[in-house]
Amino acid sequence: MTAILVLALVLTAGAATVVVLTDAPARQAVTLSAFGLVLVLLFMVLQAPDVALSELGVGTAIVPLLVMLALNTMRKDRADRDRRDRR
């Protein structure tokens, strides 16, 4: 069990590092979703299935989706502002 826990912790640290080092916000949302899956694995190893299910829903699906929607809205607003400025 200790080896599995160490492996899960190393995977978590690696995935967190990848999220932090990702430059583009859209790619960061995708890596954040992958990080959520790694956290689900860690919580399952730590025998916390209720926390794992919450992380699966929130950290893997909802937060990255909200980030992508916010980025899309910002891009549309910027495009609309540029069109108005050209007139």
Give pLDDT, residue 82.
87
Give pLDDT, residue 32.
93
Nearest-angstrom CA–CA distance, 5 and 16:
16
Confidence (pTM): 0.83
Give φ, ψ of 23 to 5 degrees: -85, -55
Do residues 30 and 64 touch, judged by C-beta distance below 8 A? yes
The ranges assigned to domains in the chain are 2-86
* pLDDT tens track for 22-72: 999 999 999 999 999 999 999 999 999 999 999 999 999 999 999 999 999
